[in-house]
């Protein structure tokens, strides 16, 4: 049996509809079309994972001097827990390193246990807390600020 081909490809304006569709299915407070348009227009690195042509996940990464910030990483609901998040995270870390970053920062909801486990597996450690950072069903939810030293992980 032939397995479908998995490709990591840069994303642009033509991919935004697919990214927005995934966001709207998996998040109660998704990124808007404008968030994606602005990120791509600003030159942030956007990459997607495609399986047999289908976008199954993506990330948006901002690099500033020697530090990168993972702004968004998402995997389509039906494709979660299949290793695509790990594949995307590893690609994001490698992309950041190639752009000259020595560390990668991100924010994550404390309630997102699956993402937290993935980030910890990749060497991310909590360095801060942003109170009331995320909109939530009832008010706001804090964000844990995590960092990974890329040289340590990608040596």
Catalytic residue (choose from 23, 44, 58, 119): 119
Write the CB contacts of 4 (distance below 8 Å, at least 6 apart in sequence). 51, 52
Cα–Cα distance measured from residue 142 to residue 6, given in angstroms and rounded to the nearest whole number: 34
Between CA 35 and CA 152, with CA 94 as vertex, the angle to 5 degrees is: 120
Cβ atoms of residues 118 and 89 within 8 Å: yes
Handedness of CA 57, 63, 66, 69 (dihedral sign): negative
Q: Which of 67, 107, 133, 149 is catalytic?
A: 107
Q: Is 18 a catalytic residue?
A: no
Is 58 annotated as catalytic? no
Q: Which of the residues are catalytic?
A: 107, 119
């Amino acid at each position: 049996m032939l397995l479908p081909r998995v490709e990591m490809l840069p994303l642009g304006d033509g991919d935004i509809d697919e990214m927005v569709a995934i966001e709207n299915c998996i998040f109660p407070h998704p990124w808007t079309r404008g968030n994606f348009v602005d990120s791509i227009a600003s030159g942030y690195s956007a990459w997607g994972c495609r399986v047999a042509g289908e976008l199954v996940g993506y990330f948006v990464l901002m690099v500033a001097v020697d530090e990168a910030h993972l702004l968004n990483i998402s995997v389509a609901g039906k494709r979660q827990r299949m290793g695509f998040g790990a594949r995307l995270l590893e690609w994001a870390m490698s992309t950041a390193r190639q752009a000259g970053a020595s560390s990668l920062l991100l924010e994550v909801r404390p309630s997102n246990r699956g993402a937290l486990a993935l980030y910890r597996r990749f060497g991310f450690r909590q360095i801060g807390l942003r109170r009331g950072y995320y909109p939530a069903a009832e008010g706001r939810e804090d964000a844990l600020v995590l960092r990974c030293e890329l040289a340590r992980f990608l040596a």
